[in-house]
Each structure stands twice: as C-alpha cells, then as structure tokens.
Amino acid sequence: MLSVIVPSIRPDNLQRLYESVQSAYTGKFEFIVISPYRRPIFFDRMWNVIFIEDFGSPVRAQQIGITRATGDYVLWGAADDGCFLPNMVDIAVQRAGPRTVIAGRYY
C-alpha cells in the first residue's frame, strides 16, 4: 500500500489531487491530509482518507502524517495545488528497490 501525505491549506484542491493519485497509481493507497480546515464533503465516506486537524507548519504536518502512515511506500511532498500524471506513481513504484528514494519535480 502507498501512503500519500498532504499538508493542506487549500481544501478546494484536494479532490483534484486525490483523483490524480487514482489515475497515477492502480494499487491501494491511503490519503492522509493534515490541515486546519474541515474535511470536504467529497471525502466523507472514503475508507482510505484520513483527515488530521493541525494548525502548524507544512513541515510539522508532514511529520504528523508520517506517524499515521501505514503504507509500504510513502509519497510525501504532494502539494495540495499539484497533481500527478497518469501511471507515473505506478512506474516509480515498479522501479523502486530497497532503500530507494524517488524525487519528482514541478512543471
């Protein structure tokens, strides 16, 4: 399983980000959002979405998310205003080996 950790101050963007993860990764994933804002209605009945209320910095939010992550892989640095290209996370996970770090970039 993949743990996607998302510090968020833009809750209106989270649905688009979630849907981009769905198109980028075909396996099971958990979507962990750390935010001072309420959970958007879109996520109300999703088993794989965890919302944690926190008013700290993005770095602190990442650390809080890591403590809740249960996946074999952690996808962190997912910006709430970004998105993933189709199949890209699948490709990265297939190429990953033990102790692998995969870095991405913004376009």
Name the strand (E) or helix (H) holding 29. strand 29-35
Question: What is the pTM assigned to this prediction?
Answer: 0.90
As a whole number, mean pLDDT of residues 8-33 equals: 95
**How far does Cα 61 stand from its chain's mean position?**
12
Give the confidence band of 23 by pLDDT, cuts at 50, 70, 90: very high
Handedness of CA 66, 70, 73, 78 (dihedral sign): negative
d(CA 60, CA 33): 12
Check residue 100 and give its pLDDT: 73
Name the more confident of 52 and 83: 52
Check residue 60 and give its pLDDT: 94
Asked whether 83 and 13 are in contact (CB, 8 A), the reply is: no
Inform me whether the pLDDT recorded for 17 exceeds 70: yes
